[in-house]
Amino acid sequence: MQRERLVRGFEEGMTVLQGLIAHGRGEAFDYLIGERTIPEALSAIKAGAAALVLASKPVISVNGNTAVLCPEELVRLSEALNAPLEVNLFYRSEERARRIAEHLRRHGAERVLWRCDAEIEGLSSERRRVSSSGIYASDVVLLAIEDGDRTLALKRLGKRVVAIDLNPLSRTAQEADITVVDEVTRALPLLTAQVQCMQGMSAEELASVLEGFDNRRNLGRVLEHMRRRLRELSGQSG
C-alpha cells in the first residue's frame, strides 16, 4: 500500500523519483529492525515529544514522501502541537509545493506554509528556501526522510532537530538531536499520542525527560538491536 501511495504521489506530481529510491532504502532498514517500533524508538519518541511540547515555535517539515505516506497523521500532530506544517522540498518547484500544500489541506490541514520568503545559510540550490514564519523562525523542527545536508544546516542555525529516519547510520540520524529510528507512518501516531500525554507535564518534568536522553547512545542501541536480530535470524544465537 505504501509503495502504491508513493507511485500515485509521483504520478500526481508530489513525490519525486528520488523519493521512491529513498523509500526502498528505508524498507531495507525496516527489515533489519523487524518492521516494528522497537524500544529504542519509543525512547526517542518520548524525548522528541518532550522537545516539541517544550518548544515555543515548533514546526513540522513535510516533503513529497511524508505528504503522500501519512497526510492524516501529519495533520493530527500539527493540531495536537498547534504547529504549522511547512512544505520544505529537496527538489523544490513552486508547482510541487503547491500541490503538496493542497493535498495536506484536503486532509484537513489548516496551517500549511509552502511559500518561501527566507533562506537557510550555507545551503545551495532550492533546498535553502524556507518560510520566515515557519522553519526560519522556529526553535524545534520535526523532519522525516530528510537529506543530511539540510539537517546539518538547520543544526547550524541553532534549531533543535527531531528526525524520523529508518537508517541509524544516515547523516540525518547521526546529526539530529533526537532520532527516531522507525517507519514514519508507525512513528507519527505514537509521537502524537505522546505529545498529548505530555501536554499536562511541567516544563521541569519535560526538561528532565530531554536531559535523560542521549542520542548517540540510543543509536548505538539500535545498531545492537540489529546485530542481535541478525544473529538470531542466522541461527547463531546462543
Nearer to ligand PTJ, 171 or 201 (CB): 171
Cell reading at 67: 505528504
- Cβ at position 203, least distance to ligand PTJ in Å: 30
Name residue 144's amino acid: A
- Please, what's the b/e burial string for 43-64 (b: 16 or more CB within 10 A of its CB; e: otherwise)? bbbbbbbbbbbbbebbbbbbbb
CA angle 208, 213, 216 (to 5 degrees): 155
In the chain, the largest separation of any two C-alpha atoms, in whole Å, equals 58
Of the pair 144, 153, the CB lying nearest ligand PTJ is at 144
Residues 25-54 that bind ligand PTJ (CB under 6 A): 25-26, 29
DSSP 8-state assignment for residue 55: -
Cβ neighbours, 10 Å, residue 212? 11
Contact status: 90 vs ligand PTJ (CB under 6 A): yes
Minimal CB distance to ligand PTJ: which residue? 26
Contact stretch for ligand PTJ (CB under 6 A) within 12-20, 189-197, 207-215, 224-232: 12-20
The stretch among 3-11, 86-94, 129-137, 208-216 that binds ligand PTJ (CB under 6 A) is: 86-94
CA atoms within 13 A on the CB side of 110: 8
Q: Is 64 in the site for ligand PTJ (CB under 6 A)?
A: yes
Per CB under 6 A, contacts with ligand PTJ among 173-202 are 183-184
Which residues of this chain interact with ligand PTJ, rule CB under 6 A? 16, 18-19, 22-23, 25-26, 29, 63-65, 69, 89-91, 144-147, 164-167, 170, 183-184
